[in-house]
Structure 1
Amino acid sequence: MATFLGKNKYIDKSLEHLFKPTKKIGKLMWIDDVNELIAIAVKDGMKPNYIFKIQNYIGYSVSTNEKDIGGKSGLGRAIGGGILFGPTGAIVGAVTGKKGAESIINNLMIDIQLNYNGKTVSEKIPVILFRKVKLNSAEYKKIESEVSEIVIILDNLLSPTINQHTVPSTLKQELLDLKELLDLDIISENEFTQHKEKLLKN
């Protein structure tokens, strides 16, 4: 794990030992579907150095060359320009579709908003930071694809229909807490199985 996660003060030590990535998007985002955790790189070109629980995620926005070009809040509505991001062409369409648009991007940020005990915290993924990338370049096409994939995931996490067929949140939290006790070697595999079956029967 030490070779995967960056040594950084942003890492939440209580989540670090739980994180096991099941999906990776470039060098920008890593997802742990099992433990419902997401890791991001908040410094350009670095290993993942910030981990957060999906339950704390409340929204995002995307900005380029210091201009907000779109995003979503926890209410499921488009914000910052009302851009609807699709699988392809979304970011470049938002940039080049404007009159007098630049042919070069110097900065491209994904701003992720998190809620911790009623307080909103913002963490930025610096996709492009203080360097020139041409919109018609192969590098930008790769970046566009990765950002669009991230945006689709972030949109889906905010969708009210996404959790319709999942277990109730209280039960889910109890199962996650139980899994954490197992990972910390506080309970055995047999105890974990017994407690899990008991919770699922109730």
Structure 2
Amino acid sequence: MGIWDSIKRGASNMSRLSELESKLRNNQNLTNSELAEFEQLSKSTLNEIFEKKPGKFFKGTSNYGQISIDENKQLFKLNTKVYHFENLNTYELLENESSISSGGLGIGRAIVGGALVGSVGAVIGGTTKRRKNTNIVESLKIFISFKGIREISTTLPFITKKQKKDKKYEKQLVSAKETLAGLDYISNFMNNQIQSNQQVNTTQSNSADEIRQYMELLNDGIITPQEFEYKKNEILNRRI
């Protein structure tokens, strides 16, 4: 095979790989032969690529401020980077380096040192720092920490220069609140998933305990083998 044939073949493979990636990005299932072809061309399994390069499969289904979410694949995008839902750890809205609201996996969201109220979320109550002029804001940002990846954290800036709390400030605060809503969505989704898994584990544990109790009754000759099998199947079918 000549060099031009190799180049043509390489270009054809890249085009085919891009076509298969597009199908996955658009939530189309690959056939077994397409999946085998995809893994051969990419030289990795689908799961490996999805874990390492989620951006290849991201297709936003909803937007919250500065966050775009792919609900189908449980991915979210900040700026140009794509993360798995499970990578989100904690997040915090900071105004002039004072915490206004925080949330994260396993803790939900809470107001810190004050409350967000009104149509634009005006802050009332105490904050961690005393401000000389409550009508001036020097910074407004959301700090986000991650887990399970090399990147430890990132910051989403909304206000970076000193300004008055005017309509421009209100607009940026609304954007920050919308972004928090997106982070809340991800956090709530993961928290619900954790609770669901815990309930399944509890149910499985309870079922095993019940079967052991009937096994003891069988061993003691209190019930027959037929009765034991009947109760065991009844318990196992109850889990389905």
Normalising by structure 1, what TM-score? Answer: 0.56
Say yes or no: does 1:108 pair with 2:140: yes
Identity %: 21
Of structures 1 and 2, the larger Rg is shown by: 2
What is residue 63 of structure 1 aligned with on the other side? 94
* 1:158 Cα deviation after fit: 2.6
Q: Which position in structure 2 is the counterpart of 1:36?
A: 74
Q: Distance in 2 between matches of 1:68 and 1:96?
A: 10
Per-residue deviation at 1:53? Answer: 0.7
What RMSD in Å do the two structures reach over aligned CA positions?
3.8
Structure that is richer in helix per residue:
2
1:18 aligned partner, one-letter code: F
Please list the CA deviations of residues 42-64 of structure 1 after superposition, one character each: whole Å capped at 9, or x if unmatched: xxxxxx22221111112211112
Give the corresponding residue for 1:185.
none
Q: Deviations over 1:7-43 (max 9, x none)?
A: xxxxx971221111122244x2211112211111xxx
Structure 1 residue 89, shift from structure 2 partner: 3.6
Q: Which residue of 1 aligns with 2:164?
A: 134
Q: How does 1:118-197 map to 2 (within 5 A)?
A: 121-129=152-160, 131-137=161-167, 139-159=168-188, 163=192
Find the partner of 2:83 among 52, 58, 71. Answer: 52
Evaluate the alpha carbon distance shift between residue 19 and residue 80 of structure 1 in structure 2; reply closer, same or farther with a 3 A threshold. same
SS at match of 1:93: strand
Which structure's relative contact order is higher, taking Cα pairs within 8 Å and 6+ residues apart?
1
Q: Distance in 2 between matches of 1:52 and 1:160?
A: 15
Check whether the contact 2:108–2:184 (CA below 8 A) recurs between aligned residues. Answer: no
Aligned residue number for residue 17 of structure 1: 56
2:135 aligned partner, one-letter code: S
**Aligned residue pairs, count:** 147
CA distance in 1: counterparts of 2:118 and 2:87, whole angstroms: 25
Distance change (3 Å), C-alpha of 1:87 and 1:18: farther
Unaligned runs of 5+ in 2: 1-50, 199-239
Tell me the distance in 2 between the aligned counterparts of 1:102 and 1:67: 12
